[in-house]
Amino acid sequence: MSSFRRFRFHAKEAIFGIASTSVMNLATVTTVALSLFILGMFLLFLRNLNIFLDDLRNQYQITLFLEHSIGADHRRVILDTLNKNQYVVNVSLITKEQALNTIREELNNAGSPLPKLKKNPLPDTIEIYVTESAPFKPAESPYGNTKKICEDILRDTSASDKNINTIALRYFNPIGAHESALIGEIPKGVPNNLIPFVTQTAAGIREELSVFGDDYDTPDGSCIRDYIHVVDLAKAHVVAVKRLLEKKNKKNYEFFNLGTGTGTSVLEVVKSFEKVSGEKLKYKIVGRREGDIEKVWADTSFSNEELGWKTEKTLDEALLSAWKWEQNYRSK
């Protein structure tokens, strides 16, 4: 083969190689570009999905807030205004002033001020009675978070095996002791709960009780909670276990509120304790404690009807049992 023909042959190979490389590079670039485009669209989808879910959560929060705070007519006016402007307000707030100001501000920003009503659409405070269907608020303490984690474990376990049946019992504020005064509560260190601090103050262990706030919109200005006797609480556990053993549960994961369904203020607790114990309790009023809800108690209608259980012990009985336990424990 002449050198000229060999040159033409090698030239063709070179040209083919360059063309092939160009095609491959173009295909690679196209593939990368397409991949980046798909990834970008996927990330945009996730972002929009997150915004959508946030909107749903916020809409649910404002609906729940309004349902628990105002009458149907006023609630309808505000929700219609919000929906008309396609604007969602996050009102997972505690005080009436914060909530009302937020609603007004956001509606003004949306170009549709809060309609003028004959009277203030919101009450001075928010009264919260908690049903089983109430949404969870993220826990603000490791202790509180453990309660949610326990429910998550029960729910997930039952979901993983339909033959495993579980019941979650949601305590409100357990107090008191067994009537024998042999079983009771001794917190480690300074008590974080009201009743042990009350009994330890009466016993001289603590100098005085601090009442956090007396300017709430309650009959005496102090916060209201749902205090349930620990014996009533124990009986509810027996009922729940019996329900599972007798296969009377309607789902393989159930949950129930355990409370009295009635709210009692901190100062009412103090007066009740002084009455049943005969002791004058030393206490002082201090500023509000951050994060405290003004009024909260259980809606126990579901647990009363479904479990056939309800509380029997009174607040006086609970406080007297707690005091007897404290005295018995300190006498040893």
In this prediction, residue 324 carries a pLDDT of 96
> Could you tell me if 151 and 255 are in contact, meaning their C-beta atoms sit under 8 angstroms apart?
yes
What pLDDT is recorded for position 135?
A: 63
Rounded average pLDDT over 249-269: 93
Say how far apart CA 257 and CA 240 lie, in whole Å. 12
In this predicted structure, what is the pLDDT of residue 48?
58
pLDDT class of 27 with cuts at 50, 70, 90: low
Q: Each residue of 148-199: pLDDT tens digit?
A: 888 899 999 999 998 999 999 998 999 999 999 999 998 888 998 999 999 9
Query: In Å, how far are 11, 262, 282 from 195, measured between CA atoms?
Result: 96, 17, 14
Reply yes or no on whether the pLDDT at 85 is more than 90: no
112-137 average pLDDT score:
50
Instruction: Check residue 148 and give its pLDDT.
Output: 85
Instruction: Please report the pLDDT score of residue 33 as a whole number.
Output: 67
Domain with CATH 3.90.25.10 in the chain: 129-330
Q: Tell me how crowded residue 105 is: count the other CB atoms within 10 A of its CB.
A: 12
Least confident range from 56-65, 139-148, 165-174: namely 56-65
Is the separation of the CB atoms in 205 and 277 below 8 Å? no
Q: How far apart are CA 265 and CA 294, in angstroms?
A: 10
Residue from 142, 181, 227 nearest 332 by CA: 181
Report H helices in the chain.
3-69, 72-84, 96-109, 142-160, 194-202, 230-245, 266-277, 301-307, 315-330
Q: How much is the average pLDDT of 292-307?
A: 89
Write down the pLDDT at residue 272.
97
For residue 302, what pLDDT is reported?
Answer: 92
| Spatial distance between the Cα atoms of 233 and 259, rounded to a whole number of angstroms | 8
Checking phi first, is residue 189 left (phi over 0); if not, alpha (psi -120 to 50) or beta?
left
The one-character DSSP state at 213 is -
For residues 319 and 229, give the distance between their C-alpha atoms in angstroms, rounded to a whole number.
Answer: 9
Residue 138 has a pLDDT of 72
Average pLDDT, the chain: 75
Q: Compute the half-sphere exposure of residue 37: CA atoms within 13 Å on the CB side of its CA.
A: 6
Confidence (pLDDT) at 26: 62
Q: Is 143 a catalytic residue?
A: yes
Query: Quick check: 281 pLDDT over 70?
Result: yes
Closest CA to 202 of 324, 78, 332: 324
Report the distance separating Cα 195 and Cα 185, nearest Å.
9
- CATH architecture of the domain formed by 129-330: Alpha-Beta Complex (3.90)
How much is the pTM? 0.62
What pLDDT shows up at residue 89? 39
When mean pLDDT is compared across 59-63, 84-88, 237-241, 264-268, the lowest value belongs to: 84-88
Instruction: Check 60, 87, 143, 329 and give the catalytic one.
Output: 143
Question: Would you say residue 136 has pLDDT above 70?
Answer: no
User: What confidence tens digit (pLDDT) does each residue in 241-257 have?
Assistant: 999 999 999 999 999 99
